[in-house]
Amino acid sequence: MIDMWKFTLRRILIMIPQIILLSILIFILAKMMPGDALTGMIDPNVSPERLEELREKLGWNDPWHIQYADWVGGLVQGDFGQSFRFKMPVTELIGERIVNSFWLSVATLIFTYLIAIPLGILSGRYNDSLLDQTITGYTYLGFATPLFIFALVMLWVFGFMLGWFPTSGSVSPGSEPGTFAYVMSKINHLILPAIAMALIATVNTVQYLRSEIIDTKQKDFILTARAKGASESRVYNRHILRNSLLPIAAFFGYEITFLIGGTIFVETIYNYPGMGLLFFESITLRDYSVVTAVVLLFGVAAILGALLSDIILSLVDPRIRIK
């Protein structure tokens, strides 16, 4: 247990420079972006001299480390600047979108595990059967299919051709927030993008689970349990699954990195107003204060996700603590 705390502490200590480096990198990117916060806010009739004065006043001519410190200071207080496009604080803008992305991610994760666990178990338990071959065929295709193509095809087939699901937005226009219909409409808008992402995301987990189960099946303690007369389902439920499912839970954090990449594609394709679409829109509109904020938030989310997974994994498999 002490080992466990030591590992966690060391892992957190590694994370701090990562977050600092990330913020520096994003700060540099933000500085490289053409124009600054004033470009969008100011009346074009204002004279260049006046603009220069304003810049001076806002500290834009200070040395970079002072600007960086100011910027970080703002971030810590939740000040991400102004969106020149939407004329509102970035924080407010993100607040709306982040909720949508959160629900999309939750739905994706639920579908991922809902698909992956049964498929992985069946495939591993009855390996080399026809069922296993079908599942393996699916993972084979899923590995090679880029998410955006798959999402497009799903939208085409289920959204346009069959008309089963809405093709854009996160809720039907005109629904009253708080009503049952509103919630149902929200869910209805989530399903297709979430399933599209889950069907691709699940491939790794299915394969992992399959090979893990096939490996465990051959282990001595399983053979012993069988020899002692334990029924097949008991062997699976009590021994094999307990060994194989824990690592899967641990991969949860790493999935966040995939979700981040995925949301950009899926939200763009399904026109779903979340963080990914916000990122896409604001970079197209050159609304750079929003871009900076979104990249920073996603970066921190990925770092925290990896931290979470590393810690869970170290609980599950003590070997990785000895590094």
Partner 1 sequence: MAFLEVEDLKVHFPIKGGIFGRTVGHVKAVDGVSFSLEKGKTYGLVGESGSGKTTTGRAIIGLNKITSGKVMFDGRDITGMKSKSDVRKDIQMIFQDPYSSLNAKKRVIDIVAEPLRNFEKLSKKEERIRVQELMELVGLSPESILKYPHEFSGGQRQRIGIARAIALKPKLIIADEPVSALDVSVQAQVLNFMQDIQEELDLTYLFIGHDLGVIKHMCDNIGIMYKGRYVEEGTTEEIFTNPQHIYTKRLVAAIPDIDPKKRQEQTQFRQEVKAEYEQSYNDYFDDEGLAYQLQPVSDTHLVALPEKG
Partner 2 sequence: MEANKLNTNEELKTHKSPSGFSIIWRELVRDKLALISLIFLILITAFVYGVSFVLDQEEIVTVDLFSIHEPPSEEFWLGTDYGGRDIFGQLIIGTRNSLSIGILVTLMSGLIGIVFGLVAGYFGGHVDNVLMRILDFFQILPFLMIVIVFVAIVPKYSIWTFSLIMTAFLWMGIARLIRSKALQEKELDYVQASKTLGSSNIKIIFTQVLPNITSLIIVTMTLNLAGNIGLESGLSFLGFGFPESTPSLGTLLSYARNPQTLEYRWWIWVPASVLILLLMLAVRNVGEALKRATDARQRRG
Chain residues that interact with partner 1, rule: CB under 8 A: 6, 9-10, 13
Q: Does 67 bind partner 2 (CB under 8 A)?
A: no
Token output for 62: 């200070």
Q: Which is nearer to partner 1, 13 or 227 (CB)?
A: 13
- Token pair for 138: 């699916």
Of 8, 22, 36, 68, which one interacts with partner 2 (CB under 8 A)?
22
Q: Which amino acid is at 142?
A: G
Count CA atoms closer than 13 A to 139's CA, side-chain side.
Answer: 20
Among 284, 317, 318, 320, binds partner 2 (CB under 8 A): 284
Using CB under 8 A, pick the residue from 294, 309, 313, 314 that binds partner 2: 294
Nearer to partner 2, 4 or 25 (CB): 25
Answer yes or no: are the C-beta atoms of 264 and 280 closer than 8 Å: yes
Question: Hey, how many other C-beta atoms are within 10 angstroms of the C-beta on 135?
Answer: 22
Residues 178-217 that bind partner 2 (CB under 8 A): none
Helix (H, G, I), strand (E, B) or coil at 89: strand
**Distance (Å, whole) CA 201 – CA 115:** 10
Minimum distance of partner 2 from residue 303's CB (angstroms): 5
- Span near partner 2 by CB under 8 A; candidates 28-36, 59-67, 83-91, 107-115: 28-36
CA proximity to 311, closest of 105, 109, 15: 15
CB of 11 to partner 1, least distance (A): 10
Instruction: Return d(Cα 305, Cα 225) in angstroms, integer.
Output: 37
Q: Using CB under 8 A, which of the segments 47-55, 93-101, 202-210, 296-304 binds partner 2?
A: 296-304
With H, G, I as helix, E, B as strand and everything else as coil, classify residue 106.
helix
Window of 38-46, 103-111, 121-129, 277-285 that interacts with partner 2 by CB under 8 A? 277-285
Question: Which of the residues 230 through 259 are near partner 2 (CB under 8 A)?
Answer: 257
